[in-house]
Every structure is written in structure tokens, then in C-alpha cells.
Amino acid sequence: MDGGWGFLIGLLGAVWLLSSGHGEQQPPETAAQRCFCQVSGYLDDCTCDVETIDRFNNYRLFPRLQKLLESDYFRYYKVNLKRPCPFWNDISQCGRRDCAVKPCQSDEVPDGIKSASYKYSEEANNLIEECEQAERLGAVDESLSEETQKAVLQWTKHDDSSDNFCEADDIQSPDAEYVDLLLNPERYTGYKGPDAWKIWNVIYEENCFKPQAIKRPLNPLASGQGKISENTFYSWLEGLCVEKRAFYRLISGLHASINVHLSARYLLQETWLEKKWGHNITEFQQRFDGILTEGEGPRRLKNLYFLYLIELRALSKVLPFFERPDFQLFTGNKIQDEENKMLLLEILHEIKSFPLHFDENSFFAGDKKEAHKLKEDFRLHFRNISRIMDCVGCFKCRLWGKLQTQGLGTALKVLFSEKLIANMPESGPSYEFHLTRQEIVSLFNAFGRISTSVKELENFRNLLQSIH
């Protein structure tokens, strides 16, 4: 269980920004340079460079990944948007139309998906409907083979185990509904102000291992904090262990990615006939310009690349799970399911071939007792963040927040399960490691969001260059 995290040590160097330095006077920077000049070239002293990541993602991976995510298996996500906030009661709901989510009608979701929560074998696919009539998965239908019954029980137990990094929705709840992600895209909704700030402030202040001595809010978008040197602010990270620094960068990268999406799909114009969505350069600059953000913007983009490499690594590690002949992307359309599995495996093999995957060393490798406690703290902090998503007042933001945190949590689960994946049988049920359909859909859609962010950075770079 400890072998799946060594790659983070190498990645940490790849995302730690070089200090700006104070040399001889240089010509004024363009708008594009102020956002991207520190987000290029080699990432410190490792062999990973941003340009290679951009080329790999934008031209080799992104087109095929988008095609996969448009398929029925990946476009329908079951989610409970009515779960109460577990932390405070004064939650205000966004009243804007763009905050609303339109759930699917029952006849809009393929029958195979509606009954495919735990499908991994031909036998389970044929008999799962009878199994799901039981009150709980523990009451397994006796018509299933003994081997499949045992697997379902093991899967249920494993879903409640300490290996999971997210508090997943109860998809059997009457409040859980299927949502077509293609019809409810992530974009700017107008959800902002104190309620939105509260979400990120709680995430950063209470879940990113902030030292008590640091008084300034960790929320990188916080304002009114005075002129504090970025190097002084970020010196607190140097005092943290490598794992806690990685945790902060994951959250910062997720935050940055979401802001890229909102800037790229911004409501530019609205008439009674139509709405025009597109790239808002001003919004992007306010979030990522090196001068406007006092040096913070490029750090956020570096952390976005860090998150990309984390999730990319997880997908490369989970390939054996999807290669097993028992696994299928079951929707009920046999031909489409087979084609999509082939596309899925092509994508995963492409990811496996990425030239800049890092050699792995040990992670959480200190004193065994302390390492175990740190790993548990890491997991509990992330589970807590997944629960905070139920406090988001904009339902569309809540939908994509829940999906992306579950996707990142699934990636962390994969990386912590490297040995379990390596020991899976070539065929038959996998008792020690499995992924539910919810985890699979969230894992690939979450990475799809990060992949889209990297692609949009190229678009914004070109737009910023064109205005000079």
C-alpha cells in the first residue's frame, strides 16, 4: 500500500516555482508573458517540461479523451444534490438560472447504466437486477455464483473501508438522480460573494495543514491582506513535510483548474434570444496575471500542471484493472460498449507511454507509526473536503465540485493501491481492489476537466498574444 506515492517526491520539484529574482532591468512584459513566462520550460531540475506536457495533452490525448467522455457510459453521472451541508446551516442557494441543474428523466438514461452500479463480469451483468432488489448489497441473490456473491460482498465492504478518500453519495437514495454532464457543462454561473468565499476559505484554512503561526489566509484569492511578500507567505510550505506540501498543491491545482473553466466558458452576452459563452480574457488575467495577483497567478498554473501529472500517473497505474477481460463499459449496447472499451484502453496505453512519468521512491517513508498517522490525516482531510462540496450553494458548481473531488479521491485511492492492483488475478473477481461505476466515471471526467484546462491555457496564451 505504501509503494504508490513515491512519484510525488519527483513531482514536487516539478511544480515548485523558482523565485522571481531581481536582476537587471528587462523590457516590459506582455500580458501573455505575465501569465505564462514562469509556466514554461523545465520544471526546476527535473526532466519534465511544460511544453512536452502541452504537446502530449493537446494533440495526442485531449481529442480521444473528449470522444470517450461523450459516450453514454461516461456522460451520465448519478449524484445527490440535496444532501444537507454537514458543517453549517446558513447556506444560501444561488437563484440564478445558470446555477440550476437539469436531471435526466428516467427514460433518458440507458437501461444498462441504471442497473450497472457493480458490473464487472458477464454473469453479474445478466443477474444484477435481481441482486439489486435486495435491501442491501449484503443480501446477495443466491442465483449468483458463489464466487460472484463473495466478490459483491467484498466490494461493498471495501467501499466502506479506510482506502477511500471521498465520502461518496448514497446513489440508492431517492434524492440521487442521473445528470447528463454534456447538457450541464461546467461554466461561469455568477455564483460568488461571501457564500462562495466561505467554501474555499474552509477548504484552505481547515484542511490544508496550515501551521498555527501563519496568520494570513491560505486562500490564494483572499484580498485585503496587505502587501505581504509571496516568498514570505510561501515560506510556510518549506516547513511542512513533502506530503503536506503535495496536499496543498493538489487543492491549489484543482482550484486553478476550475477557475480556468469559468474563464473559458464565461457568459459574454445575453439577449432574450440567446446566450453567448466564450473566453473572458479579463477574468483570466484577474486570476492568473503575475502582476495583478502579486506573483500568485503563475504558482496556481504550476499547481494545475502538478494536479495533471498526479491524475495522469494514477491512470497509468490503473491500466491492469481495465485490461481484464471481465471488465466492460456496460450500457446495454454491446457494439458501442466494445468500441468504447477499445478506445479506453487506447487512451490508457497512450498515457502509459508518456515519456515523463517519474521513477518511484518511497512515500510516507519515515517512522512507521508516524507515516501511518500522516497517511490517515491525508485521507481524512480529503474526505472532509469532499463533504464540504455539499455546502456549495450553486447546484451546477456543486455537481462539478462533487465529481472532481470524487475523481481526485479515486486517483489517490489508485495510487495508494499500487500493490493491490499488481496482485489482481488476470480473470475472475478482484477481491482486494475494484472501482465502482461512480468512481470510474468521476475519475475520467475529473481528468477530462484537467486536460481541458491545459488545452484552454494554450487558447488563452494565443488570445493574450493577439492583443499586442
Q: How far apart (Å, rounded) are the C-alpha atoms in residues 426 and 435?
A: 16
pLDDT of residue 107: 84
pLDDT of residue 348: 98
- First and final CA of the chain: distance in angstroms? 52
Grid cell locating 167: 465520502
Q: How far apart (Å, rounded) are the C-alpha atoms in residues 17 and 304?
A: 12
User: Which value, to the nearest 10 degrees, does the dihedral of the CA atoms of residues 231, 237, 239, 241 take?
Assistant: -150
pTM: 0.81
Give backbone dihedrals phi and psi of 180, rounded to 5 degrees, phi first. -85, 110
Amino acid identity at 293: T
- Per run of 10 residues, the mean pLDDT along the chain (length 468 residues) is 40 37 53 70 55 92 97 93 85 78 88 62 41 36 49 48 61 84 92 84 76 57 46 59 77 93 92 88 92 85 89 93 89 92 97 74 60 76 87 93 93 85 80 86 97 96 85
pLDDT of residue 140: 36
Grid cell locating 406: 470524487
- Could you tell me which residues come within 8 angstroms of residue 155 by beta carbon, excluding any fewer than 6 positions away? 118, 137, 434, 436
pLDDT of residue 122: 41
Count CB atoms within 10 A of the CB of residue 288. 26
pLDDT of residue 374: 73
Helix (H, G, I), strand (E, B) or coil at 73: helix
Q: What is the DSSP secondary structure assignment for residue 193, as one 8-state letter?
A: S
